[in-house]
Chains A and B, each alone.
Chain A
Amino acid sequence: MTVRYGAAPPLFEKLDLVLPDGAFRYLVGPSGAGKSSLLRLILLDGRPESGEVRLFGESTSSVTDVRLAGLRRQVGVVFQDFRLLDGLSLVDNVALPRLIAGADIANSRKEASELLDWVGLGERIAASPTTLSGGERQRAAIARAVIGRPRLIVADEPTGSVDDVMAERLLTLFEELNRQGVAVVFATHSALLIERRPHPTIRLDAGKVEMSGAS
């Protein structure tokens, strides 16, 4: 793939990356290396200038709006800035992917409550996201990413706004999901986290991709 923004030089050229089913990969690289851009491609939020993104074996070059939505529902996403919706309660924020998929409202809320309990926010289900701390929001965002039982979770700096203890706890959540068969792409700047909890790494730098630790 080639990815370029406007008239700028290509961010990636001849990028060729395969993520196996059930894999866990750190995504690292300096600021501006294209981590967020790569994650956007995986989320089908934009298209490469040339080449194609194949998601779960399916080409996404010319899919319909409905199929695109269907593919996105198989990807859970945790944004760096959480992106919880202030107009919704915490439980509805977490239930939103299920509601969008047309699932039963009561069941969706029940599942969302259970997931909030799982991430330690069981007492805050009716709270507005505006009343939560950064760590709590991050955990709620993880619960939202998981509720649709995705095949792949994409997390953009999910530990960027929490302390080291919380960062390890969040990483434990992702590892637990990965053990259940969910592939995880975990973008991080934290060398400490990578050192303590080693996983194969995708390193982006100056448009080049390096893989390390993968068998």
Chain B
Amino acid sequence: MIANLFKRRESHTGIAAGALSGDPASRILPWATALMAFLAALALAAALAVGDAATRWSAGFGRGLTVQIGASPLAGDDPAARIVAMLTATPGIESVVETPQEEIDRLLAPWLGGLIDLDGLPKPRFLEATLDPGVRIDPAHLEARLRTVDPDAKVDDHEVWAARLSDYARAVSRTALAAALVIGLVSAAGVVAVALARMAIHADTIRLMRLLGATDRWISALIARAALRQGLAGGAVGAGLAMLAVFLVERAATGAEGLLPTPRLAAWHWALLAALPLAAAAVAVISARLAAYMWLRQR
């Protein structure tokens, strides 16, 4: 019974498809599909990861200000507490948190190397202010107020950076998505070319099938059936290799997060990439069937 489950199920078109096999055109298709699926999967992975990063960056930076103040004085009055108090009292500011020194050290470490003792260096301090939803604060005006307490104080508006970064990331994401779509269209054109070549190569067999009573729909299903199998196989190989490449790139990026933006794929992104062979098969089936049908209608 188990063996029967795995037994290849025969179909009418499956048997007849044996008469259209073995031509060079049909041998090219799985490899061409694998290559296209590889490129499409990489482009899609880039689009998804960068698009997701853009959303995260936008959400993470969008509702806040960063206030940079001078290093802790070795002696005397520390202005940080007064700056925090001033910020907290400012209408529209929800909360203020000082970035821990360990976090600043972690961000600086890749740039300064492990040989420098960061503890001995005067380092800037950062206060992260979260704004109430929908509130905008003029950073220049706030900075002028804060400088009455600490002349080194600087205010950085996240929204400006977030908008620029987000715009850039979205542009990259859209370009990658467009590349994936173009690759899909090129794949479809390739499948059409292969289907037409197969029809021409097997023109005598197809003519015979027609004389034996085959409809154009039935014959185009034969061509589409082969394209389905080849699209699935090629798509699985291409998408599988692309997923492996993305995994290796992500693994190589581990530890470099402080230096470079390292977009990562979420679980659903991986699921989408894993479904790419199905999309490749669908493109192959639709393209092959249409090409075959058009060819038959002209004859």
Query: A92 CA to B16 CA in the complex, in Å?
Result: 8
Residues of chain B with a CB closer than 8 A to A86's CB? 19
Interface centre among B12, B21, B204, B216 (most CB of A within 10 A): B12
**Number of residue pairs across A and B with beta carbons under 8 Å?**
67
Residues of chain A with a CB closer than 8 A to B208's CB? 83, 85
Kindly supply a per-residue 1/0 record for chain A positions 69-91, scoring 1 wherever the CB is within 8 Å of any chain B CB and 0 otherwise: 11011000100000101111000
Query: A77 CA to B216 CA in the complex, in Å?
Result: 19
A95, closest chain B residue (CB): B15
Shortest Cβ distance from A167 into chain B, in angstroms? 24
Residues of chain A with a CB closer than 8 A to B215's CB? 65-66, 69
A100 near B16 with CB under 8 A, answer yes
A87 near B210 with CB under 8 A, answer no
A97, closest chain B residue (CB): B212
B219, closest chain A residue (CB): A100
A70 near B12 with CB under 8 A, answer no
A43 near B211 with CB under 8 A, answer yes
B18 near A96 with CB under 8 A, answer no
B15 near A65 with CB under 8 A, answer no
A64, closest chain B residue (CB): B215
Binding site secondary structure of chain B? helix
Say whether A102 faces chain B, with CB atoms less than 8 Å apart: yes
Residues of chain B with a CB closer than 8 A to A69's CB? 210, 213-215, 218
Interface residues on B, range: 20 to 34
Query: A208 CA to B10 CA in the complex, in Å?
Result: 50
Interface centre among A65, A70, A73, A92 (most CB of B within 10 A): A65
Interface residues on A, range: 20 to 34
Residues of chain A with a CB closer than 8 A to B20's CB? 87
Kindly supply a per-residue 1/0 record for chain B positions 9-28, scoring 1 wherever the CB is within 8 Å of any chain A CB and 0 otherwise: 01110011011111000000
A96 near B16 with CB under 8 A, answer yes
B212 near A96 with CB under 8 A, answer yes
A73, closest chain B residue (CB): B213
Query: A72 CA to B211 CA in the complex, in Å?
Result: 6
Say whether A45 faces chain B, with CB atoms less than 8 Å apart: yes
Kindly supply a per-residue 1/0 record for chain B positions 177-213, scoring 1 wherever the CB is within 8 Å of any chain A CB and 0 otherwise: 0000000000000000000000000001101111111
A85, closest chain B residue (CB): B19
Kindly supply a per-residue 1/0 record for chain A positions 128-155, scoring 1 wherever the CB is within 8 Å of any chain B CB and 0 otherwise: 0000000000000000100010000000
Say whether A15 faces chain B, with CB atoms less than 8 Å apart: no
A40, closest chain B residue (CB): B211
From known contacts A85-B205, A85-B208, A87-B22, infer whether A99 and B16 are also in contact, taking CB-CB under 8 Å.
yes
B18 near A148 with CB under 8 A, answer no
B10 near A100 with CB under 8 A, answer no
Residues of chain B with a CB closer than 8 A to A95's CB? 15
A88 near B18 with CB under 8 A, answer yes
From known contacts A85-B205, A87-B20, A87-B22, infer whether A100 and B212 are also in contact, taking CB-CB under 8 Å.
yes
B213 near A101 with CB under 8 A, answer yes
Shortest Cβ distance from B288 into chain A, in angstroms? 18
From known contacts A69-B210, A148-B213, infer whether A92 and B12 are also in contact, taking CB-CB under 8 Å.
no
Residues of chain A with a CB closer than 8 A to B207's CB? 45
Say whether A127 faces chain B, with CB atoms less than 8 Å apart: no
Query: A115 CA to B256 CA in the complex, in Å?
Result: 74
Shortest Cβ distance from B23 into chain A, in angstroms? 10
Q: Within A93-111, which residues are at the interface with B (CB < 8 Å)? A: 95-97, 99-102, 105
Shortest Cβ distance from A87 into chain B, in angstroms? 4
10 A-B pairs whose Cβ atoms sit less than 8 Å apart in the complex:
A43-B211, A69-B213, A69-B215, A83-B208, A87-B18, A87-B22, A92-B18, A96-B212, A97-B212, A105-B15
Q: Which residues of A are in contact with B by a Cβ distance under 8 Å?
A: 43, 45, 65-66, 69-70, 72-73, 77, 83, 85-88, 92, 95-97, 99-102, 105, 144, 148
Q: 3 shortest A-B CB distances, which residue pairs?
A: A73-B213, A85-B19, A87-B19
Q: Which residues of B are in contact with A by a Cβ distance under 8 Å?
A: 10-12, 15-16, 18-22, 204-205, 207-218
Known A105-B12, A148-B213; 17 more pairs at CB < 8 Å: A45-B210, A69-B215, A69-B218, A72-B210, A73-B213, A83-B204, A85-B18, A87-B18, A92-B15, A92-B16, A92-B18, A99-B15, A99-B16, A100-B12, A100-B16, A100-B213, A101-B213
